Structure 1
């Protein structure tokens, strides 16, 4: 290979890299639950890719960055309305929606520990925010015949842990089913809808869980981490995923590189689920 051809190939690779690095330039994005964990990592990645990002949580971020922020409790209809209005007034429309908000506060004890209030709490956190926000913002996406919605589900929708997260798992399964149905309706109208299903992610909350499990079992943190992995049936990769790894997958799915992908679910769990 002559020097001139080699230089051209290097330049071409560099141009492609720069193109990918700013591939979301000018896109307007909403990330729910974007101040911690996976949500924070998604916000950071979208900003790096050139998007204008608005995010929300119940309390402001400790270290705000370039993103715009709306304080709202989107487990309520009123909070969702507040967020939707902020999207319209601040961003003037929407191109990307990433629903990260979710979680569980249920105590251990199986089905008997889950009263009506706990079931309602899990559904209001893990299902209804996506339903309400999509319903409000999708018409503008359909009108412009473009947009991407990502619903962050969980491997617990297919691998539930009954001791403490039965209601959470059921809510995430409902979110996954809703997402698939929505994709069938709106994909022909130019809007892609995809799901990302993480396993155990080493967020701040996960680190706190490791510390609690270690303390209760009388082992060190490596031992506590091993106990959690065993409760999941093992993680062939040997470790949890990082928030950034999940964000990288989401960043690809909302990008033009994934323009033919819709209606499907991407599992990122280090191999936890035996059969995808």
Structure 2
């Protein structure tokens, strides 16, 4: 007998955490899960200037091991469990100039944020998921895990490649225990920060925002679908993956890049 799903309320009763959930794709994911009926907790280092009052915000710098443990304990104490973990936090602050300008500090800070933070959160929340025989973990990686940009984001690319591999290994360990683990690797997303960057490029090059956007797409080798992703594109897919409709999916990496990666 086929299952019937209430698409408008399919996550009712679920407790979800979205890291880096106050802006960009993270915010869109959090709002998508909220719309599906879940109780959604979001984390970031700083309190958002504006946001959805229905999202539960906890300030946390997850690049610090102690902060990860504190967040885990606070959520389990307040909510009793966590059903869905979306490890969205990530980013790169390394300088341009290639390998020679990158210090150990650059590498370590990038790996802490993009790889070790989700590893620690998984370790914190997995025991109670396994005990209940139910849970979903999503790792938001990047196409840079396969298509590194050496000029400025090599540590980020290496960390995301590590996250993809780790996610696959973790899924093999815990899927038989009722916990699904999946990876989503977006390409270029047109966030508010990306929009501001396009405005700066346009101003500096005396071009239009459309021309600036095309120049970035060209630098990526082209995006066959003709545009960057919108945060909602990522959020809608994550909403599906964490839902009962995706109950047979685990251990897989899903690339959302508009066709950017030129290989199979």
Instruction: Answer yes or no: same fold by TM over 0.5.
Output: yes
Q: How many residues align?
A: 261
Matches within 5 A, 1:111-122: 111-122=99-110
SS of equivalent to 1:21:
coil
Aligned to 2:162: 174
Contact 2:5/2:245 (CA < 8 Å) preserved in 1?
no
1:215 corresponds, among 197, 203, 207, to 203
Moved more, 106-115 or 190-199: 106-115
5+ long unaligned stretches in structure 1: 1-15
Aligned to 1:41: 28
CA–CA separation in structure 1 for the residues paired with 2:254 and 2:154:
22
SS of equivalent to 2:226:
coil
Aligned to 1:147: 135
CA–CA separation in structure 2 for the residues paired with 1:191 and 1:47:
21
Distance 1:17 1:207, change over 3 A: farther
5+ long unaligned stretches in structure 2: none
1:145 to partner: Cα distance: 0.3
Contact 2:89/2:114 (CA < 8 Å) preserved in 1?
yes
Runs of 4+ residues deviating >4 angstroms: none
2:14 corresponds, among 24, 27, 30, to 27
CA–CA separation in structure 2 for the residues paired with 1:153 and 1:69:
23
Question: Is 1:240 equivalent to 2:190 in the alignment?
Answer: no
Question: Is 1:228 equivalent to 2:216 in the alignment?
Answer: yes
Contact 2:10/2:36 (CA < 8 Å) preserved in 1?
yes
Report the structure number with the largest CA radius of gyration: 1
1:62 to partner: Cα distance: 1.9
1:223 to partner: Cα distance: 1.5
Determine which structure has the larger helix proportion and give its number.
1
Question: Is 1:124 equivalent to 2:109 in the alignment?
Answer: no
1:56 corresponds, among 15, 27, 43, to 43
CA–CA separation in structure 2 for the residues paired with 1:107 and 1:99:
24
CA–CA separation in structure 1 for the residues paired with 2:170 and 2:156:
21
Contact 2:86/2:138 (CA < 8 Å) preserved in 1?
yes
CA–CA separation in structure 1 for the residues paired with 2:207 and 2:4:
45
CA–CA separation in structure 2 for the residues paired with 1:35 and 1:145:
30
CA–CA separation in structure 1 for the residues paired with 2:83 and 2:182:
14
SS of equivalent to 2:50:
coil
Moved more, 78-87 or 98-107: 78-87
1:209 to partner: Cα distance: 2.1
Question: Is 1:90 equivalent to 2:78 in the alignment?
Answer: yes
CA–CA separation in structure 2 for the residues paired with 1:112 and 1:220:
34
- Give the alignment's TM-score, normalised by structure 2: 0.96
1:214 to partner: Cα distance: 2.6
1:18 to partner: Cα distance: 7.8
CA–CA separation in structure 1 for the residues paired with 2:244 and 2:126:
19
Moved more, 188-197 or 206-215: 206-215
CA–CA separation in structure 1 for the residues paired with 2:197 and 2:91:
13
1:258 to partner: Cα distance: 0.2
